[in-house]
Every structure is written in C-alpha cells, then in structure tokens.
Structure 1
Amino acid sequence: MLKDFLKKKKRYATIPSERAKQEVPEGLMTKCPACRTIMYTKELKKNLYVCDTCGHHHRMTAYERMDSLFDTGTFVELDKGMISKNPLDFPTYEEKLESDRQKTDLNEAIVTGEGLINGFGAVVAVMDSRFRMGSMGSVVGEKITRAVEQAIEKNMPFILFSASGGARMQEGVLSLMQMAKTSAALQKLNHQGGLFISIMTHPTTGGVSASFASLGDYNFAEPKALIGFAGRRIIEQTIRQDLPDDFQTAEFLLKHGQLDRVIPRLEMKETLTKILDMHHVS
C-alpha cells in the first residue's frame, strides 16, 4: 500500500522542462519588489508602473513619463542631440557613456521638451536614472538651463522630475558647477515671475537634491521616494545617533516641512493641471 502511494506521489512530482521554461517570453511578467505580487508587465505599464496590490511605484523611463503627462501629439523634444565629452580624460568614461546610450536609447540622463498638459503649455525636464544613475554632468546642467530659458522666453511654467545619484564624479568640478548654473537660471525664472514645479522621484540625492531639485515654488515627491544629500550611514557616523526608519523618505520630508505634498503617480497629471490652471494668465 505504501509502495502504491509513493508511485502516485512520484507521478505528480515533475520538474518543468527547459522547453516549458522557454515558452514564457522574457519580460512578460513583473514581480513587485515590495509585496512580491507577480503581474503582467503590460498591465503594470497601463497603470503607470504603480503596483495595483500595494501601490509601490516602479521606475519609469523619461519618455514614458513624458507620455503620461503631455497631451497626445503635443510633445516637442529640446536639445536631443547634446552628448557628453570627457573633459578630464577620465579612464573608460567615454566607453561607459556609449554603453549607456546603447542600453537606454538616450543621449544623456535627462530629456527636456515642451507641450500641452490638458491644454496648458509647459516646459518639462525628466531625469532618467538608467543613464549613469541619473548623475548630473555638464550636459544635464546645460539642458536644464536651456529648458528654463525656454520657459522664460515663452512665458511658460517649468516642471522638473528629478531622479539622480548626485553629481557625476567623472566630470569633477565641472559637474559641481552645474549646481550654481541651474540655480542661477531658476532665480532668473523667479525674477520674471515664472512658475517652477519640482517633483522628486526615487532616488533624488547628492548635489541634485541640494540645488535645483529643492528650489521649486512647489516641491512635490512621489510616495516612498528616497530624497537626501549624504548617505544614511555617513550621517549616523557623523552625529553618532540612530536615525528613524523612514529617514530620507518623501513622507519623512513632508512631515518635517521640506515638501509641500506627496503625490501618487496616478494623480500627478490631474494635480499639475490644477496648478497650471490656477497660475494661468490669459
């Protein structure tokens, strides 16, 4: 009797063949890193990469972000052809830039453009963390500055979505100079009475968080976004204290007055439309 039971058990204890594994196309499914739910990637994309189970915000590419904001057919990209050089002759830097161009189909870590958001004109810049971790080099600073100047010239609001690991070490002081350069451009926008809306996404750190990302007339963030300057471990070692578990999250910054609001991605376009309408001058 035990022998019969074991035979029956063995019949159902099968291991999927390599052929069966290959029948599932790569990229068809996505597992949420927060709640471990497995979902169709196509459905996740339709939901703007927000997990339907737990609300976790997956990363978006710059062009996907633009598509989620601008009215169909109104987006015009600015300065697409700008690419970084290697002014400090940093070893392998050019090879790494070319590798990122091939992997991301981007020329740099930011995309800028203008168009209509529910009928309201705006200039928008979106950083993409897939390219050199969204680090701020000379081209990133220049494209932001030019986008701000475009907003001034056309009397349009400027909206920035930041996602960055900070200054780009391969460009040294030239990268750090972009903090002052972009801040000066935004000051000029402010003097002209222009509107700047800053939205910090995961992650926004280093020199980016310490400069243009924090200078908005409205400073927003997506839920659970990591936002800060120095790393958690460095801060704890410096002050010799344990930090709260939610330290450097969007919710922590909101609670302590550094953000105006934490906005879920699915509410972003509607919220921006209300603000653009409120500030619109006929």
Structure 2
Amino acid sequence: MSWLTRVRQSIPFIAKRDTPENLWHKCSACGQMIFVKEHEENQYVCPRCDHHDRVGPKVRFENLFDPGSWTVLPSPEVAEDPLKFRDTKRYPDRIKAARAATGETDALQNAEGTIDGQRAVVGVQDFAFMGGSMGQAVGAAFLAGIRAAIAARCPYIIFTAAGGARMQEGILSLMQMPKTTVAIAELHEAGLPYIVVMTDPTTGGVTASYAMLGDVQLAEPNALIGFAGQRVIESTIREKLPEGFQRAEYLLDHGMLDMVVHRHQLRERLASLIGYLAPAAVN
C-alpha cells in the first residue's frame, strides 16, 4: 500500500450536504442572482431591475383573489388531436409533455372568487404550456369563463400570454376568433364588463381574437404586445421601427392601452375597476 493510499484512507468520510438546486434565481433581464424565496415573495418581480417574470395560473390566482375565496373552474373537454397532426413529434405527445411540465390541462385556466370582496371570474393563460397557444381547448375555456361570469353576474378578467394560434390544430385554431368574439358580445349583452390584462408576451391570433377587445385594456410593464413580429413588419413596410415598438409603454403612449400597472398594484387596481364597472359584483 502506497503512502498516498494510506493518507487518503485515514481521512474521515464526510457526507455531502444536500443543497437545494433551486436556491437561486437568475433574472433573465439583468442577470441579478435572487433568492428563490425572495423572488416568490416579490411576486416574481426582480428587485433590482423590476423585470416582471412570466407566471402561471396558480400564482396569479393566489396573488389576486382574497385568500380562501377562489376555486378553479373545470376545463371543458375537446377533441385533442382533430387533425392527427405530426411534425417532429406527435401532437398528443406534445400535449402530454406540456401537462407534465405545468400540471395544467391546457393553456387557459379559469377560477372564480373575490377580489377585495368583489366577485370575479378570472382566466389566465400560461405561456409555459406550448407558448400559451390558442387551440380548441383555449377557445372552449374562454367561453366557459365568460358564461361562468354571466351566471355569477360579475366581470370576466383575462390575463393573456400567448404566441398566437396553435399550428397543430390548423384552421380549427383560427375558428376560435369568432367564438371568443361572440362570447364577449354575450357578456356585454348581460351588462357585465370584460377586462383584459396583457402580459409578456401577447401576440398573434390571441391579440386579434380577444386581447384587444376589452372594455378596459391593462398591461404589465414592458410586456411585448402585438400581432405580427417586429422583423415581419420591418420587412413589409421597409422601414426601421422606433425604439420600444410593441412594448406596453409605447402602446400606452399611442392609445392602444388604458394603463400600464405594476404587478404589486394590480390587485388594488382591478378591485377599483370592478367597483366602478360592476358594483353589483360585491359578494
């Protein structure tokens, strides 16, 4: 036995300490390292640069509704692979992977509850679920949320986050535009408000279908909002677009939004809007 082996064997074994892999979060905007717990407590907003990270339905509902007041509404069932679509993967396999990653049935989830004592139905799109893309399931969930709001005589609030229509459903995804437009008309006929909160990113068919049809249009700071991409527009009009084009603040300055609201003030602002637009929604 060599002296090196004897020395090595004489060193007592110390078990490796278990350290959580998710102790830190790196801000995608400024690169700042933030404690995950601090990030969660700050509603997923960077304390250094104020970047608003993307969040899913569960976080939205917990931060928005009064504690213990909300329940998730069931998602309508639709044909999951109507076109038998396949690219590099089968469409059902993509849906299965998205469900495993997010714990959600599809890209739009509704919940009913109270915001500062005022009843509301809230829909939240999750960009983590196939880019928040709009297919038949999203259209059906949107319609179900509207009709739940009509039944409860309260506003419908939608948080949009999407890359557009879902290509795996082809023309069926584009057919969700008239469905959602008619649903909004039903809400208006019932005398109830439709409030849109656009988050990063809100683009493509979702923008055209229901994101730009709100009675009041809100957005989170610096959210990307538009229909076609910036490069597509520049190549079409053959001009350089201005700085900040398609960002929430630019759209506010040019009349496409009513207000840009920080996530920390969003609950209070929505409660005020419900009070103004639907005073009968008090629980």
Q: Could you tell me the TM-score, scaled by structure 2's length?
A: 0.90
Counterpart in the other structure of 2:214: 216
Q: Look up the equivalent residue of 1:235 and give its one-letter code.
A: I
Structure 2 residue corresponding to 1:36, chosen from 31, 37, 53: 31
Q: Contact 2:78 / 2:136 at 8 angstroms: preserved in 1?
A: no
Q: Could you tell me the TM-score, scaled by structure 1's length?
A: 0.90
Counterpart in the other structure of 1:115: 113
Using the alignment, how far apart are the partners of 1:158 and 1:54 within structure 2? 31
Counterpart in the other structure of 2:5: none
Displacement of 1:193? 1.2
Using the alignment, how far apart are the partners of 2:277 and 2:185 within structure 1? 18
Structure 1 residue corresponding to 2:150, chosen from 145, 149, 152: 152
With 225-234 and 32-41 compared, the bigger mean Cα shift is at 32-41
Displacement of 1:83? 5.9
Q: Contact 1:76 / 1:115 at 8 angstroms: preserved in 2?
A: yes
CA deviation profile, 1:13-55 (whole Å, cap 9, x unmatched): xxxxxx9998542111011122221110111101100111111
Q: Look up the equivalent residue of 1:33 and give its one-letter code.
A: S
Q: Contact 1:82 / 1:107 at 8 angstroms: preserved in 2?
A: no
Displacement of 1:281? 3.2
Query: Over the residues paired in the alignment, what is the CA RMSD in angstroms?
Result: 1.7
Displacement of 1:72? 1.2
Higher relative contact order (CA 8 A, sep 6+): 2
Residue 93 to residue 22, structure 1, CA distance change in 2 (3 Å): farther
Q: Contact 1:83 / 1:108 at 8 angstroms: preserved in 2?
A: no
Residue 255 to residue 113, structure 1, CA distance change in 2 (3 Å): same
Using the alignment, how far apart are the partners of 2:19 and 2:224 within structure 1? 34
With 80-89 and 103-112 compared, the bigger mean Cα shift is at 80-89
Structure 1 residue corresponding to 2:66, chosen from 65, 71, 77: 71
Structure 2 residue corresponding to 1:90, chosen from 81, 85, 94: 85
Structure 1 residue corresponding to 2:100, chosen from 77, 102, 108: 102
Structure 1 residue corresponding to 2:169, chosen from 168, 171, 180: 171
- Structure 1: runs of 5+ lacking an equivalent: 1-18
- Structure 2: runs of 5+ lacking an equivalent: 1-13
- Percent identical pairs in the alignment equals 45
Q: Contact 1:83 / 1:107 at 8 angstroms: preserved in 2?
A: no
* Number of aligned residues: 264
